[in-house]
Amino acid sequence: MYKLNESKMFADVTNNVAIIINSETGIYYALNSCGSVVFQAILDGCSTQSIADNLKKIENCPSDVDQKLKAFIDDLLQKEIIVEGEQTSKIPNFDEVVVKQDNFEMKVLEYADAQEMLLADPIHDVDEKEGWQPVFKEEKDNNDK
C-alpha cells in the first residue's frame, strides 16, 4: 500500500480538489475530482484492491478501471508523491457523483507557476542581515559583468 511521501510532499484535499506541493522543486500538483477522492483513499491507507472494488460498485464503471487506477498510482509513484506504506483496514466510500463527473478518469495536473515563491531559501539557511529577498535582476546582471 501507499502513503504520502512526507519527506518532500505536502498535501491537502479540500472540496474534492487535492493540491500536493513538492517542497524540493516548488512544483505543485492538482488532481481532478475523481483523482482527489481516490488519492484521499490512498492517504487513508486503503488497499489498491479495495479502491478498485469500490469503484466497480458505482454504476457505469468502465471495464478498464483497474488499468486506470494502476496508471494513476504509477503516475503518483513516478512523481514521488506517494511511497510504499502500511495498509489499514479502512474501506473507501466514494461519492458517486464526484467519480462519475470525471468519467472515472484520474488525472494529475502539474504546475510550476509558483516555483519562485516556493523555492526561496528558508530563513535558517540565509544570512540574517541579507534576508532572503532575491537580488533584483538588473543588479545581478551588473554584478555579473
Partner 1 sequence: MINNNPLISVMMPTYNNAGYISQAVESVYAQKYDNIEIVVVDDGSTDNTKEVLKKYKGIKYFYIEHKGISFARNIALEKSKGEYIAFCDSDDYWLPGKINTQIQYFKEHPDCEIVFTKYENLFEDEKLKTNKRAMHEKLMEKFLKQYLPSSIIKKELFEKYGNFDENFSGVEDTEFLYRIKRKGANIDHVISDIFYIRRIHGNNVTLNYNKDTIKYITAILRKGVLNK
Binding footprint of partner 1 on the chain (CB under 8 A)? 10-12, 14-15, 17, 19, 21, 23, 28, 30, 109, 111, 113-114, 116-124, 128-137, 139
Compare residues 28 and 94 and give the one whose CB is closer to partner 1. Answer: 28
Compare residues 10 and 56 and give the one whose CB is closer to partner 1. Answer: 10
The grid coordinates of residue 6 equal 512526507
User: How many other C-beta atoms are found inside a 10 Å radius of the C-beta of residue 11?
Assistant: 19
In angstroms, give the least distance from the CB of 115 to partner 1: 10
Compare residues 93 and 133 and give the one whose CB is closer to partner 1. Answer: 133
Compare residues 28 and 54 and give the one whose CB is closer to partner 1. Answer: 28
Strand order in the sheet with 17-22: 9-14, 17-22, 28-31, 108-111
In angstroms, give the least distance from the CB of 114 to partner 1: 6
In angstroms, give the least distance from the CB of 63 to partner 1: 31
With 0-12 / 13-18 / 19 or more C-beta atoms within 10 angstroms meaning exposed / middle / buried, residue 117 is: exposed
How many helices (H) and strands (E) the chain has is answered by 6, 6
The grid coordinates of residue 50 equal 479495495
